[in-house]
A and B are shown apart, each in its own frame.
Chain A
Amino acid sequence: MPKKPITFVLNGAERAAFADPGQNLLDFLRRGVGDLTPKYGCGQGGCGACTVLLDGEPVLACLTLAEAVEGRRVDTVAGLGGPAPHPLQEAFMAHFAAQCGYCTPGMLMSAKALLDRNPRPTREEVIEAISGNLCRCTGYEPIIAAILSAAASGARP
């Protein structure tokens, strides 16, 4: 089957690349487009390391067909922050919310989706928002604290 051209908006800029038929969005972003920030953890929806935003909603890129993003907006960690880190990234650093860091891109995108729709979440809402993201290292507590503190700081570029 021939490759299919996909045109979409990645982190605010229009992009076009070829996708293999049936290729998943994670593979497409990493190998077709060269955005290595979404991580491959399990490839089957179990870990959340590949979480990206599709039109602002968190999706598991490993379970999303590349073709599904045609004409739509995809956001990844590569688009977070500008010259300075995003407030969520600042908060993750301040709270030591990453050890090996493999879960961090997925955690950040899940957290961003939460704060975009609910700027002042409760602890329970934060837990709910990251419940699909596995972390082997931190014990989650510093991640929860970081997201709550980013929310409390109110900054939202």
Chain B
Amino acid sequence: MAERKVLLERYDVPNIWELDVYRRHGGYATLDGLFAKSPTDWVEEVKASGLCGRGGAGFPTGVKWSFLAKGTGKPTYLVVNADESEPGTCHDRRLLERLPHQLIEGIINTCYAIDAHEAYVYIRGEYLEPYQRLVQAIREAEAAGLLGKTVAGQDFPLRIVVHRGAGAYICGEETALLSSQEGDKGQPRQKPPFPAVAGLYAAPTIVNNVQTISTIPHIVRHGAAWFAGINLAPESKSPGPRILSVSGHVQRPGIYEVETGTPFEELLYGLCGGIRGGHDLKSVIPGGSSMPMLPKDVILQTDTSFESIRKAGSQPGSGAVIVMDETTDIPTVVWRISRFYAHESCGKCTPCREGNPWSVKLLRRFVDGTARAEDLRILVEVAEAMEKNSFCPLGIAAAWATQGALKHFRHEFEARISHASAIAAGD
């Protein structure tokens, strides 16, 4: 079983982040054919490829582009979401650090297709080194005439501005990101209107993830049919290579680019070398901390296609695969995940702002073995309230973490109900 390296094909080339080196390895070759076709043709091409967004929601990219409001009299913007902060996710960082020109090439391709002349990259603040690499690459591209008043000699002006976030997970959510970039607190906005209609500065805006945009040059170069064929799962409508960040208890954690439909068993036991130190697998979170965890027997029957992960009761999310072996204490993991959401809640709505700290407090009792019999019931109720009533998906995700753990590992929580409390409750 091998990786299917497309975006990562040139990853190990020394100094690939430099323009000369990138060009010597086929970089910016898409600019030869790009302007020969009309923008609408490219939107159709990306639609036909079946590419689905890599940022978390998995929405079909070409379809999103076709929703852009026309004739508004306002400019159209592209905003690249480089806020990568979903626990477990670390591949956008590598794409930014090592392959900034692949992203810039993707931005040029995309901006031509959607008729945008200004693109913004919103990059998480903690990614200082990737930020510096990206800015350097943009300067190089400008100096080489690939950006600026003309792109590669074509009558197509394009400017890229990099905007640094400053440590707020919620700014990865697209409407919060737009508020943040506009200079306000990064809090989500009501949808609709969707960004494609009224996004940045109330103008039509496409928000796409770093990996999504880095994929575009490959579709432009090799065509939709080629991309759609990278798919081992016949029933899957989310084809292509996808980069997964595998962390936790495997022998070889890392970022792996695999064909849609690669079985998790092959990913974990083949590419990642199996579970560390001869331990047994216990559970896997397949799409970042926001997605429900799955137990061993379920994940080993699942493949990496969006459809298979959904059928198994979780979500592909950000592509962060977090692996836990049998020594892992599930309540402790869920407590830590819950603390993340409590810390990152933007405070706009009550279920999330109040529910998360409450969950953390309850979960801590399960970690410490001091939980009372009714704490389990309250934990379930708090999660339900967050899932049903939160304004944005952050509050829902926080609930899913708890619910996923309770669905498959309830016995571990029950075992932590303190003996004294169980007797008092008449159990």
Tell whether A pairs with B.
no
